[in-house]
Amino acid sequence: MRGLFIKTYGCQANVYDSERMRDVLAPLGYAPVEAPEAADLVILNTCHIREKATEKVFSELGRLKELKQATGGAMRIAVAGCVAQAEGEEIMRRQPAVDMVVGPQAYHRLPEMIARLSRQTGDALDVDFAAEEKFDALPTSRELSGPSAFLAVQEGCDKFCTFCVVPYTRGAEFSRSADAIMAEARELASKGAKEIVLIGQNVNAWHGAAPASQHGGGAWRLGDLIRCVARLGFARIRYTTSHPRDMGDDLIAAHADNPKLMPYLHLPVQSGSDTVLEAMNRQHTGDDYRRLVERIRKSRPDIAMTSDFIVGFPGESDTDFDATMQLVRDIGYATAFSFKYSKRPGTPASTMRKQVAEDVKAARLDALQKLLLSQQYAFDDSQIGKIMPVLFEKVAREEGQIMGRTPYLQPVHVKTDAALIGQVASVKIEKRTANSLHGVLA
């Protein structure tokens, strides 16, 4: 047995890919270990989305280098993910302790790369782009990591928002076939997954031919796929991340017809200013987004809306920022992520004039986060006293408690038997703390 330690940064796509890397390396005798100290192979599955995410990778590599020296150089270090894709050669040059660099479309070739490395021949850098080959070649057997399982249905993006590296690191939009997705979903169902989360950088851009087994055939969109997955026996279905432009009628309707589809939608808007949205190449206005949310809420009135925001995009004025604050007030979010704009090499926005000063970005982020947090608390407080179905996921840090999630994805802590993990139970919500709801079995 050889120890494998994978450290995952960033989005759900990376969480999913890390599990697949673990699965592809298992036949070579690699088994997960708790800490890098016990590992023969350490993989950093990296994120390039914002500057801070990239910096973290280089400082972690510094620490690993010392660990590697302490093991006499026996430990292997691989860098995977989007930093590998974007800065592969730079990594090899800057950090000689790194043995391998492997981009997100090359994970199925990891075993071969490791074999070559042990023979000290060949190329230790693989950043080819072929999403199709990757999905076809990864092992079909999947180990569950908990009652909720990710399933990648699409990868990459063709939207080219001017701030974003995803179209460069993950490549062009690629939808997996409905047949391949359904086969993986069936396997997850048979292994006992209770919740399935369909993931993709632009998940609602998913499209494909109906599976051969479906009468009627035709072209499918995400709403059709969700209906088909819902028949497999999962208790809950989710999907993330969606783009406003791809929010089709079928998907909106699925929120009304399908009780298994959870009332939760992560729909990033990034900004409330039409000038900024245009400069970002988002291809929608603030009012387009408002009208869209109205239609979604007509279909599923209690839906919890969440979003991503960027403050301090080049050229963003006080008036532009006020428009973002107004949009947040108009929509009312259950929770949201917000970031200071950070320049990403190679993206159009990084060379735009009128970059916003750091202190202005910080002040705007602070104001926005205060508003978003007050909305989050109001939303969480509105559940106090209610009885909600909670899917229990794992034991909590606090002794004797387990953690689960409401349909709105809020974490809930309950003092009860760990045997409930993997089940949906009714919980009476009693109080809220900073990051969680707390309740008792009803």
Binding site for ligand SF4 (CB under 6 A): 157, 159-161, 164, 166-167, 201-202, 243
Task: For tokens 């009012």, name the residue.
Answer: 287
* Cis peptide upstream of residue 241 (ω within 30 degrees of 0): yes
Under rule CB under 6 A, which residues in 384-413 are in contact with ligand 5AD?
Answer: none
Q: At what angle do helices 12-25 and 110-118 cross, to 10 degrees?
A: 50
Binding mask 156-175 for ligand 5AD (x = CB under 6 A): -------xx-----------
Q: Does 268 bind ligand 5AD (CB under 6 A)?
A: yes
Buried b (16+ CB within 10 A) or exposed e, 210-238: bbeeeeeeeebbbbbbbbbbbebebbbbb
What residue 44 binds from ligand SF4, ligand 5AD, none (CB within 5 to 8 A, per partner kind)?
Answer: none
Token pair of 107, please? 């994970």
Nearer to ligand SF4 by Cβ, of 266 and 413: the residue is: 266
Q: Does 150 bind ligand 5AD (CB under 6 A)?
A: no
Distance CA 50, CA 345 (A): 10
What residue 159 binds from ligand 5AD, ligand SF4, none (CB within 5 to 8 A, per partner kind)?
Answer: ligand SF4
CB-count exposure of residue 265 (10 Å: 0-12, 13-18, 19+): buried
Residue 17: CB minimum distance to ligand SF4, A: 16
**Which secondary-structure segment (H or E) carries 253?**
helix 249-257
How many residues sit close enough to ligand 5AD to count as binding (CB under 6 A)? 12
Nearer to ligand SF4 by Cβ, of 98 and 269: the residue is: 269
What residue 160 binds from ligand SF4, ligand 5AD, none (CB within 5 to 8 A, per partner kind)?
Answer: ligand SF4
Distance CA 274, CA 362 (A): 22
Residue 48: CB minimum distance to ligand 5AD, A: 9
The residue type at 37: E
Contacts of 69 by beta carbon, 8 Å cutoff, 6+ apart = 97
What residue 9 binds from ligand SF4, ligand 5AD, none (CB within 5 to 8 A, per partner kind)?
Answer: none
Beta strands per DSSP E along 33-129: 41-46, 76-80, 100-102, 125-126
Q: Does 344 bind ligand 5AD (CB under 6 A)?
A: yes
Nearer to ligand 5AD by Cβ, of 170 and 344: the residue is: 344
Residue 342: CB minimum distance to ligand 5AD, A: 4
Task: For tokens 């021949």, name the residue.
Answer: 121
What's the distance, Cα to Cα, between the start and end of the chain in Å? 45
What residue 202 binds from ligand 5AD, ligand SF4, none (CB within 5 to 8 A, per partner kind)?
Answer: ligand SF4
Nearer to ligand 5AD by Cβ, of 270 and 376: the residue is: 270
Nearer to ligand 5AD by Cβ, of 91 and 311: the residue is: 311
Residue 227: CB minimum distance to ligand 5AD, A: 27
Nearer to ligand SF4 by Cβ, of 316 and 380: the residue is: 316
- Give the count of alpha carbons within 13 A of 325, CB side only: 17
Residue 280: CB minimum distance to ligand SF4, A: 8
Phi, psi of 322 (to 5 degrees): -60, -35
Q: Does 369 bind ligand 5AD (CB under 6 A)?
A: no
In this structure, are residues 413 and 438 in contact, taking their beta carbons and an 8 Å threshold? yes
Nearer to ligand SF4 by Cβ, of 5 and 309: the residue is: 309
Task: For tokens 């409905």, name the residue.
Answer: 178
Nearer to ligand SF4 by Cβ, of 339 and 379: the residue is: 339
Candidates 23-31, 67-75, 133-141, 339-347: pick the segment binding ligand 5AD (CB under 6 A).
339-347
Q: Which of 438, 427, 432, 365 is nearest to 398 (CA)?
A: 438
User: 442 vs 366, 380, 386, CA distance in Å?
Assistant: 38, 18, 10
Nearer to ligand 5AD by Cβ, of 30 and 341: the residue is: 341
Under rule CB under 6 A, which residues in 308-337 are in contact with ligand 5AD?
Answer: 308, 310
Distance CA 181, CA 179 (A): 5
Contact residues toward ligand 5AD (CB under 6 A) are 49-50, 163-164, 268, 270, 308, 310, 339, 341-342, 344
